[in-house]
Copies of this chain bind each other. A is one copy, B any other.
Amino acid sequence: MAKKIRIKDIAALAGVSAGTVDRVLHNRGSVAEDKRLKIEEVLKKMNYSPNIHLSAISLKKTYRFVIAIPDFSEGEYWFFAEKGIRQAFETYSALDIVCEFCYYNHFDLFSCRDSFEQVILHKPDAVIIGPTFRDETIHLSNQLSDMGIPYVFIDSAVEGASPLAFYSSNPYTCGYLIAKLITNITPKGADIALLQAIRIGDESANATILRKAGFMAYYNEHNLQNKLYRVNYSALDNEQNEKLLNDFFKDNQETKGAVILNSRAHVITDYMKKHEIHNIKFVGIDLTEKNNQAIREGCIDFLIGQRPEQQGYMAVKTLIQYLVFGKSAQVTNYMPIDIIVKENADLYSGLTDFVLDTD
């Protein structure tokens, strides 16, 4: 085990004082060029990296975080993302962080627009965005970029923005894998239903579009002949939903498989249970509490897990590293895509203790 290297050690090796090393570390200027070079050389050679938790106690600065994500109920997807965010704040409890949450309804474009306007008003030092609507997200991103405020996307990224980083699963791969799974567990050539949510003010969410592309890619690459029905459902209006699904399932009794490219699988399995529709294989996304229930009961065959806690945690961590040391992380960060079945579902849920840290 290498002995710990302290600022003092670096200082000695470079023939300066600790204060000067610190100035270099934080780019605070007022350091002679030759000494700066010398210090940077020593830092690199010794592979020094300061203990951020120790930095924190000396730093009196208060960091204002704003989190702009969809609202949620307990056990839903964004619940877990927020859990990860709060966990990160715990881990960095030595830092003085204040945090505002700007929630929006992610089925409602206008709600998102309102919410995003609030973000700037909070004068944040850092922002975490859960994008749903493309144009609104770009608009906010541009404002933040202009003001020099760093921001990180979680759940999905948006083309045309310049976040410090984003943490999401690769939606294309997700869709691709879903296609593989559903076709592997349904008879060859069977009809498949593709459920999609109705949104207010926009036809489809950002991530969902990309997942669909991956899904279709699998079909094309494998020359699949399965008939594919696009079925609308409503996540907001139960009655409307009932009607929409009735229309489809009455007329298409031959459907053997169904997939949904967002976390509302349970809405569909609830309907199926109620109407005693069995023998339809079902693949969905996200281990929400309700989906967990459904997978236990055998109503869902596969779920794709996206590690929302970890995304939230990493977003905070990345921003802190940047704010404190100006360290920019890797921009593109795709999470592992977990394949969840009845047997391993329990092990994935509520596992916030099994988490790690790296630097």
**A residues at B contact (CB < 8 Å):** 1, 4, 51, 53-54, 57, 84, 87-91, 93-94, 96-99, 169-170, 173, 176-177, 180, 184-185, 307, 309-310, 313-314, 330, 333-341, 343-344, 347-348, 351-359
Q: Which residues of B contact A54 (CB under 8 A)?
A: 53-54, 57, 94
Instruction: Tell whether, in the assembled complex, residue A337 and residue B347 are in contact, meaning their CB atoms are under 8 Å apart.
Output: yes
**Cα-based distance from A352 to B314 in the complex (angstroms):** 12
Q: Do the beta carbons of B358 and A352 come within 8 Å of each other?
A: yes
Question: How many copies of the shown chain assemble into the complex?
Answer: 2
Task: Decide: A344 and B354 in contact? CB cutoff 8 A.
Answer: no
Say which residue of B88, B173, B337, B356 sits within 8 Å of A84 (CB atoms): B356
What is the minimal beta-carbon distance from A308 to any residue of chain B, in angstroms? 12
Q: For residue A100, which residue of chain B has the nearest CB?
A: B1
Known: A352-B358, A359-B91. A97 touches B1 (CB 8 A): yes
Show 11 residue pairs from A and B whose CB-CB distance is below 8 angstroms, ordered by the A residue. Answer: A1-B99, A53-B53, A54-B57, A88-B356, A169-B347, A177-B343, A180-B343, A309-B356, A333-B353, A336-B348, A352-B358
- In the complex, A353→B359 CA distance in Å? 7
CB A165 to nearest CB in B, in angstroms, measures: 11
Q: Which among A177, A330, A355 has the highest number of chain B CB atoms within 10 Å?
A: A355
Partner of A98, one of B1, B91, B173, B330: B1
